[in-house]
Structure 1
Amino acid sequence: MKDFSILLLIGVLNDPFFSGIVLFIAIARTLFPFFQSMMDKSVRRMELDQQIEIEKLRTSANGTSKSPAGKTKKPPPKRS
């Protein structure tokens, strides 16, 4: 069975169409971890951007953000 698989592999590599497919699969398997790490980094960056936007919205909702005139808004008075 092992000899048959070796002969089959040699036959596939001699055919230009199938050798292109085998080469593409080999390159894709080699480069997949690189692209996966790039995707993970971009996803982390997008998550951090979302967290920053959420924090900006929270601070603006609390009244601690700056108004367009550049003056800081006063927080609402606390009632006891």
Structure 2
Amino acid sequence: MRGDRVEVVIDAGGDVRTYEIEATRNGRRVEITTTRGIVEVTEVTRGGTPVRTARFMSSRVLALVEYPAGEHPIGQEVIEP
């Protein structure tokens, strides 16, 4: 869904880098795959065709955070008794 995004934090040898991969159009989604020491984040169309792919060595990944798209931000409402 448009608005889905994944934030990947990488150890770049003494430096920390952050990458964001986002579904840029309606009907696209972001998929995460982990195989053989590689983390792959792919923006995919409705039909399953990959549009953009980012690959990272899993030993260098410090954090992988998924932000699902939604109409209402989660955790923004304050409920008082």
Fold match by TM threshold 0.5:
no
For this structure pair, what is the TM-score category when the shorter chain's length is used for normalisation? Answer: under 0.3
Of Structure 1 and Structure 2, the greater strand share is in 2
TM-score (norm 2): 0.20
Q: Over alpha carbons, which structure has the higher Rg?
A: 1
Between structures 1 and 2, the one with greater helix share:
1
TM-score by length of 1: 0.21
